[in-house]
Structure 1
Amino acid sequence: MLRYTLYLLFLLTQFAHAQSTKKPLRVGVVGLVHTHVHGILNKAFKQPNQTDIEIVGIAEPNRELAERFAKQHGYSMSLVYATVAEMLDKTKPEAVTDFGRIVDHKKTVEACAPRGIHVMVEKPLATSFADAKQMEALAKKNNIQLLTNYETTWYGSNHKAYALANTEKAVGDLRKIVVHDGHQGPKEIGVNKEFLDWLTDPVANGAGALFDFGCYGANLSTWLMHNQRPVSVLAVTQQIKPDIYPKVDDEGTIILTYPQTQTIIQASWNWPFARKDMEVYGQTGYVFTVDGTRMRIRLKDEKVEHAAEATLADAPATDPFAYLARLLHGETKPDELTSLENNIIVMEILDAARQSAKTGKAITLHK
C-alpha cells in the first residue's frame, strides 16, 4: 500500500512539474485594425496568470494605432514591427493570429506557410473562393494549421444543439436551419475608424453584412450538415441605409438548399439589438440557441418547449487562443467549426451568395 501511495505521489509531482514548465505558445499578431484583437491583447497583457500564449511580436504599419492600443493594454512598443516579414523573422512565432483586413488574409498565409508558422484568421477565411483555395493549397503544401475564428465556436449552446441534433438524433432528421446574426450596424455601435474604413469597403471585406455576418450561418450550417455542400445558393441584399453604407449591403438573406434540408441565413446591420442565435428544426422536434448558454427545446410528444442551459464546458475551449495553444501542443483534437475543410465550403457559399445577389439568380454548386 505504501509503495502504491508513493508511486501515486510521484505521478502527481511529475504532472504538476509538467504543468508548471509547459511553455506558452509563441504567438505573433498580424494587424490591429480588426477590433476583435482586443480579445488576445486582454488575454496576453491583462491576465498575468494565463499560461496559454505569449505575444512575441505585433505587425502593424499604423504607428498611431499601435501606440493607442499599447497605452490601453500595457504592451511595449518594442513588440511592434512595421511589416509582417520583419516580425516573423525577428520574433520566430510558432503561430500568428490575423486581425487585419479580410482581403489581406492571403498575404499572411503566403508569408507564414513557407516558414512553417500556423495561422488563425478572424472570420471569414477570405474575400473570395479563389483566394481561399490558394490559401488551402499553401497550408497543405507546408503542413500548417489554417484556422478561422468565429465567436460562435466558443458558445456552449451551439455544441449542445449539435449534440442533440446530430449525436443524439433527438429532433429527427434535419429539415430547416435558421441563423440570425448581426447588430444595429458597425457605425451605430461605435466601432473605431480603422475598423469601419475596411469593414465597409467591398474590396477589403468582400461585401457588407452579407460577409460580415453571413459567414456565421454558413459555418454553422456546414457543420450541422457534416460538411455537405449545398445544392444551390440564393441571396438577396439591400442597402437600407445607403447614406451610412454607400458601398456595401447592410442587409443580406441567404437560402441554402440541400437534398432534404434548407438553411436560411439572416445577416443584418439593422437588428434592433446585437444577436447571434440559431433555430434547428428536425422532423420531430427543435432546438433554439438564444445566446452562448441559453437554449429552448421541444422534442417529440412534448406539449410545450422547455428552457435549457449550456456551459462553457460544452464548447471545445474557453476562448480561441487557449484552444489554439492546446491544439498546437497536441492536447486537443481539431474542432470542425474552425477547420479549413469547413471554411473552404463557407467561402464557396459566400462567393455564390454575392454572385446570386448581384444577378438575382440562384447559383447551383456543381459537384
Structure 2
Amino acid sequence: MRRRAAVIGLGHQALEDHLPGLLGSNRAELVAVCDSDPDILRRRRESFQVAAFGQVADLLDAAAPDFVIVAVPHHAGRAVVEECAGRGVHVLKEKPFATSLSEARELAAICRAGQIELMVTLQRRFNPIYTSAEQFLDQIGTPFLIDGRYTFHTDDPGGGWRGKVQQAGGGCIIDMGYHLIDLLLWYFGLPSRVMADFSATAVPGSGYDAEDTAVIQLGYESDLYGSVLLSRWVAPKTEKLHVVGTRGSVLLTKGRVQRLDLRGAVVEELSRPHAPANAATAQIDYFCRVLDGERLNTSSPRHQLAHAAFIASCYQSKAAGHYIDPKEML
C-alpha cells in the first residue's frame, strides 16, 4: 500500500523535482497540493487532478496525508513544519533545514515533541556518483587539501525573497551552498575552523542584502584544509569538489567522479550519462522506507544541526573577522 503524500509550495522546485518524483514513485502517491497563490494553485490542480488547498491546515485536515513535501520560501518553513508536527504528519523538507541555528534547535524540538520524521532534501546523497566519491577518497592516501566551487550566473542574484536576509536567512551560503556544505560534512565531518568572506555587490544599487558571492576557508584537526567558492553571479556554471591527498586526488563534478594520480592522470572514473532527470523519486522512496522502519534517516534534524552550525559560523566569522569553531556552537 502506497503512502499518501502532499506537496506544499508549488514553485519551481516542486514542479521540476517533487511532483514528477511523486508521480514516479511506487511507494507514495500524490493526493493533494497547497499554495497561497490562487492562480498557481488552479493551474497545478488542473495539471495533476488532485485536491488543492490554499491553507496548510485545510490540507492536513481534509487530505490526511502520511507525509508532506515542503517547498516553501525559507522564512515560511518553520510554521509549516510546526503545523504538520502538531498533527503527526511527517515532513520531507526542501533545504535549508532552518534559517538560523536557533531556529534549527527549535525545529528539532518541535519534531521530537510531535514524534514525526523530518528529512531534508539532499538529492546528491541518492546519486551513485557521490556515493562512489566517498569510496575513491579512501584510495588517495591522507587528504590534506579541498578545493570546492559551485557557481552560476543569474542576471538578478538578489531577486525576490532570496535577496533578503530577513526572509532567506542568507544568500548563496545557506541556499545553493547547502549542497556543497552537505558533501563536506558527509565526507569529512564538521570542520574545527571556518571563516567566510562574502558580498552582495554584484549589481550595485539593487538593494538586496543576501550575499551573491562567498569564499569559505575551512580546516580540520587532521590538517585537512581548503576553500569553497560559491556564487550566483560568476559564470560559467560550475560544480566541483577536488580533494588532494598524499597518493593522488579525487575530482568530483556533476555526473562524473575521477581518481587522479599525483601527476593528474586519470586512474579510474565513473560517469552517469543516462541518469534520470532528477533524483527526487529515489529520495521519496527512501523517505518512505524511513517511515516504514527499513532505513535510517541520515538527514534528520539531529544531523542538520551540524549544517546549521557550519552556516552560522560562516556568518559569525564575517562579523568577527576571525575563524569560528562550529563545534562550539552545538
The question of a shared fold, defined as TM-score above 0.5 by the shorter chain, is answered with yes
Is residue 2:269 matched to residue 1:308? yes
Distance across 2 between alignment mates of 1:307 and 1:243: 48
Would the alpha carbon gap of residues 203 and 319 (structure 1) be closer, same or farther in structure 2, given more than 3 Å must change? farther
Distance across 2 between alignment mates of 1:308 and 1:277: 15
Report matched runs for 1:258-273 at 5 Å.
258-260=220-222, 261-273=224-236
1:58 to 9, 13, 33: 33
Distance across 1 between alignment mates of 2:195 and 2:210: 18
Is residue 2:145 matched to residue 1:176? yes
Is residue 2:125 matched to residue 1:153? yes
In structure 2, what is the equivalent of residue 17 of structure 1? none
The root-mean-square deviation of aligned C-alpha atoms, in Å, is 2.7
In structure 2, what is the equivalent of residue 297 of structure 1? 259
SS in structure 2 opposite 1:211?
coil
SS in structure 2 opposite 1:209?
coil
In structure 2, what is the equivalent of residue 246 of structure 1? 208
Distance across 2 between alignment mates of 1:182 and 1:318: 26
* TM-superposition CA deviations, 1:313-336 (whole Å, max 9, x none): 9xx9863222222332344x2363
Would the alpha carbon gap of residues 114 and 174 (structure 1) be closer, same or farther in structure 2, given more than 3 Å must change? farther
* TM-superposition CA deviations, 1:238-291 (whole Å, max 9, x none): 222234563321101112221122242221112323333211222322111121
| TM-score normalised by the chain length of structure 2 | 0.87
In structure 2, what is the equivalent of residue 129 of structure 1? 101
* TM-superposition CA deviations, 1:205-260 (whole Å, max 9, x none): 111212212212221111112xx432222001122223456332110111222112
- In structure 1, stretches of 5+ residues that fail to align are 1-22, 189-194
Shift of residue 306, structure 1, vs aligned partner: 3.5
Distance across 2 between alignment mates of 1:346 and 1:30: 23
Contact persistence 1:218–1:265 (CA under 8 A)? no
In structure 1, what is the equivalent of residue 87 of structure 2? 115
Contact persistence 2:136–2:259 (CA under 8 A)? no
- Percent identity of the aligned residues? 22
Would the alpha carbon gap of residues 184 and 296 (structure 1) be closer, same or farther in structure 2, given more than 3 Å must change? same
List structure 1 segments (4+ residues) > 4 angstroms apart after TM superposition: 310-313
Would the alpha carbon gap of residues 185 and 355 (structure 1) be closer, same or farther in structure 2, given more than 3 Å must change? farther
1:75 to 42, 48, 64: 48
Contact persistence 1:221–1:263 (CA under 8 A)? no
Distance across 2 between alignment mates of 1:147 and 1:306: 36
- Residue 270 of structure 2 aligns with an amino acid whose one-letter code is E
- In structure 2, stretches of 5+ residues that fail to align are none
In structure 2, what is the equivalent of residue 141 of structure 1? 113
* TM-superposition CA deviations, 1:153-194 (whole Å, max 9, x none): 2332211011222xxx21123322332223212747xxxxxx
Distance across 1 between alignment mates of 2:270 and 2:103: 39
1:203 to 140, 143, 166: 166
Q: What count of residue pairs does the alignment treat as equivalent?
A: 323
2:2 to 24, 32, 47: 24
1:339 to 279, 293, 300: 300
Contact persistence 1:214–1:350 (CA under 8 A)? no
- Residue 349 of structure 1 aligns with an amino acid whose one-letter code is F
Is residue 2:100 matched to residue 1:100? no
| TM-score normalised by the chain length of structure 1 | 0.79
Q: Which has the larger radius of gyration?
A: 1
Is residue 2:83 matched to residue 1:88? no
SS in structure 2 opposite 1:363?
coil
